[in-house]
Amino acid sequence: MRVWITGGSSGIGAAVARELGRRGATVAITARDADALHHVADDADGTVLAFPADVRVREELETAAAAIEQRIGPLDVVMMNAGTWQQMDVAEWDSTAIREHVDTNLLGMVNTLDAVLPQMLDRGRGRLVGVASVAGYRGFTGAEAYGTTKAAEINLLESLRIDLAPLGVTVQIINPGFVDTPMTRRNEFPMPFMTDTETAARRIVDAIRKGKAETVFPFPYLVGMKLLRLVPVRPYTAVSGWLARRSRDAKA
């Protein structure tokens, strides 16, 4: 299996690359931080190859994709994992964070599709794995930037799954809860049911190999977030607002 992972320099991406390498796959990883990227590759005993690029720059990804296919051959799986997270405070409104999240999370995924989907369509086969988040299921306090892009990613991937299936390209969605990564370690709020990166990587690789359309973990999020989607708007907004106020009062 030949796999390309964006956002592969740390966290989920790096852990999945290592797990795939242990299971015999040839893995290419991409991220902006070339030093961190090469560190992951150097620790993988030759099963992981580093190709630095910025997902926000379409041309860089297209160059990286061409170099990867020249090095390891046609890609079987592309895992679109690159992402950023920053909590927002709407009382000090600044749309910069939203624009940065759109550029990295959403358009980074689109740029990756530009780099690999035409080739998959030409071959009539391929697998796209998009890493979104349970934060995309509903609106959450402080997640105006992150949650917006994750909701858009889920919608994009679900639409692609429908339209690409007859053309031979499979689309899988990964929606994790909280995973212990450098991004989440910056958070100052409770993160229930935290998953370590190694466990997350095993879950993701198992899901890829089984061809699961959607994977949500850990289990409490699988149940809770699906049910949360069914809660009517008024009570959801009221309870969420009350919890947000309690959190702000606790910090004051």
Distances (CA, A) of 217 to 59, 171, 179, 197: 34, 18, 10, 12
Alpha-carbon distance of 165 to 124, in angstroms, equals 10
Q: Which residues contact 4 (CB under 8 A, 6 or more apart)?
A: 27, 28, 29, 30, 65, 68, 75, 77, 78, 79, 116
DSSP codes, 48-105: EEE----TT-HHHHHHHHHHHHHHH-S-SEEEE---------GGG--THHHHHHIIII
Distances (CA, A) of 1 to 8, 19, 23, 131: 17, 13, 10, 19
Is 236 considered catalytic here? no
SS3 8: coil
Distances (CA, A) of 221 to 22, 52, 153: 28, 33, 18
Candidate list 137, 146, 221, 236, residue with the active-site label: 146
CB burial readout 200-209, b (16+ within 10 A) else e:
bbebbbebbe
SS3 228: helix
| Catalytically active residues, by annotation | 146
